[in-house]
Structure 1
């Protein structure tokens, strides 16, 4: 069977490998000049620092199948991601924890005392939160909300928090301990030689042909028995009903001698600061030593037709348009939509790999039993 795959990120690479291992012929089309999608990494020629070209990516998971899978294609080095934020000229820990609370309120509370204190700060008049701001005020109160969530959220999404759904802030964003690890997953790591070498290893199979700088076109589709589409869902239809909304990022490079900020990521919560954060990339590989440094300021804005999409907006108008595209996609034949862009969802790397493995299981089982391949692996709406 001939399989055409659009996109050489993790979704496309994992599915390509699975099909090739089962004896199918696979051609992967990638419109960029490199594999690994937004996870692409490369050595900076001047400093030797491993650069995350499209912003930092930290691998973390509790999925043992995914953890074992990625370790089969490259060495993963333990890495505990920690984030700081600058607000009002002071540096605090994120996520908000016991030290953050004591710093902000100039107190020395213990866990139980701090929990009661935060409950007193919360707004008891809010029943079911109608938006992001109400969600934050209901759980942490105005002082913490305005310090750590209001400005950053406005910059990240380009909207007032009252215009964003409460679901973005899904749970109480406070830890009543001094634990400052950004993630809670049991496996947290960075690839010693970058993500691109891992994706290259996944695609290194005699049954896989990779065509870089080559998008999969309408004319190409007829050459394959089935197509796996990891590109934007609306792009499959030529954006003929309009474009789904995304936020994109602009990066402003900083080069210096020594160490710029002493940590991998420093957020900037004040709305008056135009960028959302600075990522200093040598700190993503603490086992390496570099005399110089490379960092990037990140600026968030609305994604245009020629920009790299990062975060699906999924507001009311986007969900209506999404329903229209999904209805058409579900009626399509010969194509399966997977991945972050193909299903218009923000997915962490481990979820992307896990869904690609599960989608491969389902697709290969369907083929063996003679059933039609379904258009979507994951729930889109």
Structure 2
């Protein structure tokens, strides 16, 4: 039986699948177009400041999936880390997600939890019975004041669309709390790898049976050389963009270096139009167990992704899903290729979901009768 497998992309999706299959006795070749592993989770220690920098924007690991948490901890030490985001709007600093402190600060009140819940219910627009758009959902859920202060302009800067054009489902991911909990996430397991994300992926790939090729794009014409191909690159790129390019948002970063402490927090969002950037991240605060005399910050700007840019966020508007369906049809007709990860399935995925799905993909592959013929193009339906 042919036990040669190709994996395209050395981010979490590719590295997890490669590790699992190599441990099961497969010969795995990993092809990575970049000069490094770990994809957009790549981190490195800045030589001037000594700060561990998340080169493609910050990543905080958080999950309720115990299997994923146990798996990722095999490859490096995690330190406890709680993400506490601040937001600036109308020249005032608030805490996110919206909680009892945010509500009391914003409205100049001293409400208790039940009082705040009743008060916010009064702010909501009850004439909107079935929210369709992001704006509908926000107005019904938190009212015009909080919506315009924290969501409307920030959403336009981040996504390039007016909230009236975006689906209501986006806002469902943003909680409102009626206590003083300012932990941005609510998951059981939260942390940051002590030595950064790059060593985690390097340790996954440092497994007998894995050959890593950096700076090496993969030509789909070579797929016949392998029993199976797992592809974590952009799905439209695999097919030569024959149905057009799927739209993404990308990020530009403006770097700032300084002595001391620049903003006193890891993440501060800028929710109004006073600044063109969406947020400033100060990376030494992502490792509070370290001490650094100097600091490095990144001002983050979001814009439409051009062909030469790094894709970050799939937009997935209604028209984009029609285009995606054409690619899904092509993918389902592609023998012995499975599309995985954020780019391969054109979905926004947190790291824990990416790892969990990659583990499931590997298990499914190993559980097929002959290890290859019955693998589907997608283990998770991208339109699901």
Coarse TM-score class (shorter-chain normalised): over 0.9
Question: Alpha carbons of 1:159 and 1:82: their partners in 2 closer, same or farther (altered >3 Å)?
Answer: same
1:285-324 per-position Cα deviation (integer Å, ceiling 9, x unaligned): 0000000000000000000111111110000110000011
How far apart in 1 are the matches of 2:370 and 2:173? 42
How far apart in 2 are the matches of 1:301 and 1:12? 27
Q: Which one of the candidate residues 244, 253, 256 is aligned to 1:254?
A: 256
How far apart in 2 are the matches of 1:270 and 1:36? 33
Q: Give 1:369 deviation, angstroms.
A: 6.8
* Corresponding position: 1:119 with 2:113: no
Q: Which one of the candidate residues 6, 17, 32 is aligned to 1:15?
A: 17
3-state DSSP of counterpart to 1:222: helix
Following superposition of structure 1 onto structure 2, how do residues 210-249 of structure 1 map, counting pairs within 5 Å? 210-249=212-251
How far apart in 1 are the matches of 2:358 and 2:109? 48
- The residue aligned with 1:141 is 143
Unmatched runs of 5 consecutive residues or more in structure 2: none
3-state DSSP of counterpart to 1:253: strand
- The residue aligned with 1:180 is 182
Q: Give 1:218 deviation, angstroms.
A: 2.6
How far apart in 1 are the matches of 2:110 and 2:303? 39
Kept in 1: contact 2:97–2:174 (CA 8 A): no
Aligned residue pair count? 381
- The residue aligned with 1:349 is 351
How far apart in 2 are the matches of 1:40 and 1:369? 31
- The residue aligned with 1:379 is 381
* Corresponding position: 1:40 with 2:42: yes
How far apart in 1 are the matches of 2:160 and 2:6? 37
3-state DSSP of counterpart to 1:93: strand
Question: Alpha carbons of 1:304 and 1:348: their partners in 2 closer, same or farther (altered >3 Å)?
Answer: same
Kept in 2: contact 1:154–1:271 (CA 8 A): no
Further displaced range: 370-379 or 104-113: 370-379
How far apart in 1 are the matches of 2:14 and 2:78? 21
Question: RMSD of the alignment, in Å?
Answer: 1.0
How far apart in 2 are the matches of 1:374 and 1:361? 13
Question: Alpha carbons of 1:158 and 1:71: their partners in 2 closer, same or farther (altered >3 Å)?
Answer: same
- The residue aligned with 2:304 is 302
- The residue aligned with 2:108 is 106
Kept in 1: contact 2:134–2:167 (CA 8 A): yes
Unmatched runs of 5 consecutive residues or more in structure 1: none
Q: Which one of the candidate residues 72, 80, 83 is aligned to 1:81?
A: 83
Q: Give 1:206 deviation, angstroms.
A: 2.0
How far apart in 2 are the matches of 1:369 and 1:231? 22
How far apart in 2 are the matches of 1:121 and 1:225? 59
